[in-house]
Amino acid sequence: MKTDSNEHFLSRRAWLFGAGALVVGATMASRSTWLRWLPTDPSLQTARFAAMGTFVDLTLAGALGSVVQNAVATIAELERRMTVFSPDSELSIINKNAALDHQRVSEDLTFVLDQCNIYHRITDGAFDPTVGPLMRTWGFRGGRPTRWPNSLEIRSVLEKTGMAKVDGSDGNVAFRAEGMSLDLGGIGKGYAADRAAETFQRANMVGLVNMGGDIRSVGSQPDGTPWQVGVRHPYHPERLLARLELSGDRAVATSGTSEQTFELEGRSIAHILDPRTGRPVSEVVSATVVADSAMKADAFATAACVLGASEAIRLFESLGGVEALLVTRHAVGSRVMATQGLKVQMVASV
């Protein structure tokens, strides 16, 4: 695994973490996380390993054994397919060649791209995996820029983005513009968490998957109580802002603009970019989204940062089954907003 991959994924959304009785293969430096599982049942066991540039925690009620092995193999295979940090990955090969000719796409990647199209439409373009050229322009995929890109440069890059320029059908994909590239950083770990959860379900085991920023529950805790998840305070990483509960097959993910930032010409640039304007976003400091899949929560958490708090809340309440807790930053201070259906216990203020 490449170092730059680790740096990107850990700082991008290492918001969730779990604690358990068993730690396996933890070789990476510890990083702060936005969400954390709050263990209440000592019978649960957690296997920890490194994948997709972050820690992955697989928590189960029962023997770990083959279930963990299957989940690890599933996640490793998805990383090989979807990373942009290996030139030999399926996604990298597509990015290199799809502007020249149609590229055959695996079943996993076909499904993810289909879901990307759905989330792109639902969010009116706020979620867009074609942001690869923008990520490079703003220094999140390579060297940092020495100056703020001007409007002409941004418009030129935007000509290489947009889901309307991605042709996909019958397991093939092609780009309509030279220089386009897909980046699944806003959805890939969520999909991996969902696929790992499927290995739990096939074994009829309850548990929790934590993909270093995306948590997916399978059932409730062994005693029937919900899983407890803590949301980290965006300004005080050592403290919790809120507590959430997950039960059944639910997921939660957080994205935000307070990590992986750098200063340029006296202004702070966050890694979340508005694919519609080509510029960094700043209003939403953290966006925590609860949904029925980690992939959906992952994509919508990213989209919330782009849409802004008010528009994101309106969208999620119109969808049903999607809840959110957002922290915004303004000149006069910060504010917490939440969807009406979110069951949350606030433990601190902003």
How far is the CA of 168 from the CAs of 82, 174, 309, 346, in angstroms?
17, 7, 32, 44
Tokens of 211: 């993909």
How large is the average pLDDT for residues 275-291?
Answer: 94
Q: What pLDDT was estimated at residue 34?
A: 55
Q: Which helix (H) or strand (E) holds 284?
A: strand 284-291
- Which token pair is 250? 């639910």
Average pLDDT over the chain, rounded to an integer: 86
CATH of 36-42+78-200+218-350, one of 2.60.120.580, 3.60.15.10, 3.50.50.60, 3.10.520.10: 3.10.520.10
* Per-residue pLDDT tens over the stretch 185-197: 999 999 999 999 9
At residue 280, what is the residue type?
A: P
Highest mean predicted confidence (pLDDT) among 118-122, 140-144, 220-224: 118-122
Q: What percent of the chain has pLDDT over 90?
A: 67
Name the least confident of 103-112, 138-147, 310-319, 323-332: 138-147
Q: Is the dihedral of CA 176, 182, 187, 191 positive or negative?
A: positive
DSSP designation for 30: P
Domain spans of the chain? 36-42+78-200+218-350
Tell me, what's the pLDDT at 74? 98
pLDDT tens digits along 129-172: 999 999 999 887 778 877 888 999 999 999 999 999 999 988 99
Say which range, 92-106, 115-129, 229-243, has the weakest mean pLDDT. 229-243
Q: Which of 114, 116, 136 is CA-nearest to residue 127? A: 116
Q: Which residues of 188-197 are buried (b: 16+ CB within 10 A; e: fewer)?
A: bbbbbbbbbb
Summarize the confidence of residues 308-335 as an average pLDDT. 92
* Res. 276 pLDDT band, cuts 50 70 90: very high
**What mean pLDDT do residues 105-126 have?**
97
Judge whether residue 13 has pLDDT over 70.
no
- Residue 350's pLDDT is 76
Q: Report the chain's terminal Cα–Cα distance, integer Å.
A: 37
Report the distance separating Cα 100 and Cα 179, nearest Å: 10
The pLDDT score that the predictor gives to residue 219 is: 95
pLDDT exceeds cutoff 90 at 262: no
Enter the pTM of the model: 0.87
